[in-house]
Amino acid sequence: MIRSEKVNSVLFICYANICRSTTAEAVFRQKAQQAGLKLKVSSAGTHASNKGNPPDSRSVDAGRQRRYDFTDIASRRVTKEDFEEYDLILVMDSNNFNSLLAKCPFEQLHKIEYFLSFAKLGRRVRDIPDPYYAGVTAFEKVLDLIEQSSDGLIHYLKENRMTPNLSDN
């Protein structure tokens, strides 16, 4: 799955960086910290035209009901430097995956993975659906998938000793 020896930083990617990837940033950042992992966590969009805007209020509302903190999270577009800076770049769907493949330098392609591949769903689903044009229940479903994927990723990183612990200062 992950083709790096160590993971010190994780970047979550969706289309506009206002729903799924910002939610993944908030959820994973908190879960990783609770698990004792010291990681740089951020998010970006392949076509983020809302640069500097906060996450979608429906994502924030769903996340806050489960006690996730969206402080200091703002929309931005993925940059060329992100491919060098982040050890693991996790996409929300196949459109994001294909967009990144077109932008990513060849030597960094190994960093791109589907975030949902870390969830234990028992089926070969790759895409976390975009809830933007759907109702409130879609945001809850996305949050469920992100929580499962976050838990799976943390388990994977810890099991394979791929990340520093907070005590490694």
Q: Give the pLDDT of residue 81.
A: 97
For residues 21-34, give the mean pLDDT. 97
CA distance 74 to 61: 15
Domain boundaries, the chain: 9-168
Q: Which residues pair with 89 in a beta bridge?
A: 11, 112
Residues 6+ positions from 49 with CB-CB distance below 8 Å: 16
CA distance 108 to 86: 10
What pLDDT digit, counting tens, does each position of 112-152 carry? 999 999 998 766 778 999 999 998 899 999 999 999 999 99
Contact in structure between 86 and 10 (CB atoms under 8 Å): yes
Just list the catalytic residues.
14, 20, 130
The domain defined by 9-168 carries CATH number 1.20.140.10: no
What does pTM read for this prediction? 0.93
Q: Give the pLDDT of residue 169.
A: 45
Q: 43, 44, 108: which is closest to 78 by C-alpha?
A: 44
Provide the b/e sequence for 69-79 (b: ≥16 CB within 10 Å). ebeebbbbebe
Q: How far apart are the first and last CA of the chain?
A: 27
